[in-house]
Copies of this chain bind each other. A is one copy, B any other.
Amino acid sequence: MARAAGVSQSTVSIVLAGKAEGRVKPETRQAVHDAARRLGYRPNLAARNLRLGRTRTVLLVVPTLTGPVFGPIYAGAAEVAAARGFGLVVHPWPDDAGPARSQVDTQAIEGVLASSIVGGLTDFDDLPVVVMDSDPADPAPTINFDVAGGMRAIAGHLAGLGHRRIGHLAAAVDAWTFHERGAALADAFPGSLARHGTPIDVAAARQAALEMLDRPDRPSAIVCDDDVIAAGAYKAARALGLDIPGDLSVTGFDDVLLATALEPELTTVRLPAEQLGATAMTALLELLDGRRPADTSLPGQLVIRSSTAPPR
């Protein structure tokens, strides 16, 4: 390759690294670029990594690759990473993370972006880590959705419709949000908040909703921490012969595909997942530069559809 351009290998390296300013004549630069294009030359990555001792690659760790929110997070993170010359590798991290650990090549990675990790990430202690959608008490920089703000928006919407007695189907997995989501609702509905924790699972949520609804003093609205949980609430309502939104208002959270597939379409909160990924990647790159990024909270947007109405 150096021969093809008629210069030394050093010069090729300097030119292609963009460090030719004042050190290589413009016409020589051009010759190198021409030869590179003609030969389809790409610098050998392994050699570069070996020489520099760094890979310019970060790892994105997610609990499961199946979730609907993960694609946009990846897209946002990847775009920011690419703009800074970093690569992005994805690794699933199931909650029972036993076998997954061994598959992670810690040495090929400069930093870790972790999303919605419940069990902690102790194996990466030595690497810079930024966490998304996780406990704000985590020692690592945290980039979160503003779930409290989203809950306040929902609470305000329901209160404005005239609801006074509501129920809350809380997602049991992320225990750290239980308090702040509950607080946001309790502020708007003092003294009249029923709460159940439930796994994010249609059948389990249906059961929890049934217990909440199958009593004389049932709430006129159910706030769910997740769209999937809301689907369970729909099923419970139908089982009890309750009309949505006539007899019961239901709200979700996340605005996944399910929200518009249900009948009636679900009032929920849309979360800026792509922005979350981009912000978190920016924070991680700051961390790699030695600066300490600020914890951030990104607001969601209330999407009012047909599952909420004034109480009878």
The closest CB in chain B to the CB of A60 belongs to B90
Question: A270 in the interface, Cβ–Cβ < 8 Å?
Answer: no
When distances are taken between beta carbons in the complex, the residues of chain B under 8 Å from A49 are: 45-46, 49
Chain B residues in 8 Å Cβ range of A108: 45-46
Query: Measured between alpha carbons, how far is A296 from B166 in the docked complex, in Å?
Result: 53
Collect the chain B residues with CB atoms within 8 Å of residue A90's CB.
Answer: 65, 89-90
Query: CA–CA, A78 to B91, complex, Å?
Result: 10
**Interface majority SS on A: helix, strand, loop or mixed?**
helix
Q: Shortest beta-carbon distance, A184 to chain B, in Å? A: 26
Distance between Cα atoms of A263 and B87 in the complex (Å): 43
Chain B residues within 8 Å of A55, by CB: 46
Is A210 close to B, CB under 8 A?
no
Q: With the chains together, A192 CA to B261 CA distance in Å?
A: 29
Interchain CB contact under 8 A, A261 and B258: yes
Is A149 interfacial (CB 8 A cutoff)? Answer: no
Is A246 an interface position by the 8 A CB rule?
no
In the complex, what residue of chain B is closest to A94 when comparing beta carbons?
A: B75
Residues of B within 8 A of A106 (CB): 42
Counting CB contacts under 8 A, is A66 at the interface?
yes
Q: List chain B residues, Cβ under 8 A from A258.
A: 257-258, 261
In the assembled complex, the Cα of A75 lies from the Cα of B64 at a distance in Å of 10
A260 within 8 A of B: yes
Q: Answer whether residue A175 sits at the interface, using C-beta atoms and an 8 A cutoff.
A: no
Report chain B residues within 8 Å CB of A66: 68, 70-72
Which residues from chain B contact A257 at a C-beta distance below 8 Å?
202, 228, 258
Distance in angstroms from A287 CB to nearest chain B CB is 22
Residues in B neighbouring A102, C-beta threshold 8 A:
82
Neighbouring B residues of A64 by C-beta, 8 Å? 71
Distance between A262 CB and nearest chain B CB, rounded to angstroms: 7
Q: How far is the CA of A87 from the CA of B92 in the complex (A)?
A: 13
How far does the alpha carbon of A65 sit from the alpha carbon of B90 in the complex, in Å? 10
- In order of increasing CB-CB distance, the 3 nearest A-B pairs are A66-B71, A46-B49, A65-B71
What are 8 A-to-B residue pairs whose CB atoms are below 8 Å?
A: A44-B50, A45-B108, A46-B49, A47-B50, A228-B261, A234-B263, A238-B263, A257-B258
Interface residues of A (CB under 8 A from B): 42, 44-47, 49-50, 55, 64-66, 68, 70-72, 74-75, 78, 82, 87, 89-90, 92, 102-103, 105-108, 202-203, 228, 231, 234-235, 238, 257-258, 260-263
